[in-house]
Amino acid sequence: MNPQELLYAETHEWVAVAEEGGAKVATVGISDFAVEALTDLVYIQFSKSGGDSVSAGDAFGEVESVKAVSDLYSPVTGEVVAVHDKLADKLETLGDDPFGEGWMLKVKIADESSLGKLMDYDAYKKMCAEQ
């Protein structure tokens, strides 16, 4: 995925929206900036699975590094259609390809208004630069 075409949450998740079978499906991951800030990842766990409903701002899992644990938040509202469970066994993928193979969650969007609160690439880059 091209990071410049994605939407971003303040909590560093990215979102890619695509049409799948007449519905809008969001693919969610965390940005390279987030992976870089976490470093030394040891563990990831998802608390949501396929079929669960999720609201924008809900935690869907947690990622643990040597230094700290961080919650992962869904930037969108809808039904979880896929969770990238295999990521737990290949955490290095998050560093190698955070915007592609490092995806975490797919959500069938039920309420598109949550997308309006997300930032585009330029706004996100600006926020990161200020941190």
- The one among 4, 10, 23, 45 contacting other proteins by CB under 8 A: 45
User: Measured from the CB atom, is 67 or 126 closer to other proteins?
Assistant: 67
Q: How many CB atoms lie within 10 A of CB 101?
A: 14
Q: Does 101 bind other proteins (CB under 8 A)?
A: no
- The one among 20, 53, 55, 67 contacting other proteins by CB under 8 A: 67
Q: What is the DSSP string of 93-110?
A: HHHH-TTTTT--EEEEEE
Q: How far is the CB of 63 from other proteins (least distance, A)?
A: 11
In this structure, the chain runs to a length of: 131
Q: How far is the CB of 101 from other proteins (least distance, A)?
A: 20
Q: How far is the CB of 111 from other proteins (least distance, A)?
A: 28
Counting Cβ atoms within 10 Å, is residue 47 exposed (0-12), middle (13-18) or buried (19+)? middle
Helix (H) or strand (E) holding 19: strand 13-20
Residues 21, 44 contacting (CB under 8 angstroms): no
Q: Does 89 bind other proteins (CB under 8 A)?
A: no
- The one among 4, 18, 39, 49 contacting other proteins by CB under 8 A: 39
Q: How far is the CB of 67 from other proteins (least distance, A)?
A: 6
- Tokens matching residue 96: 């190698």
List residues binding other proteins (CB under 8 A): 39-40, 42-43, 45, 62, 64-69
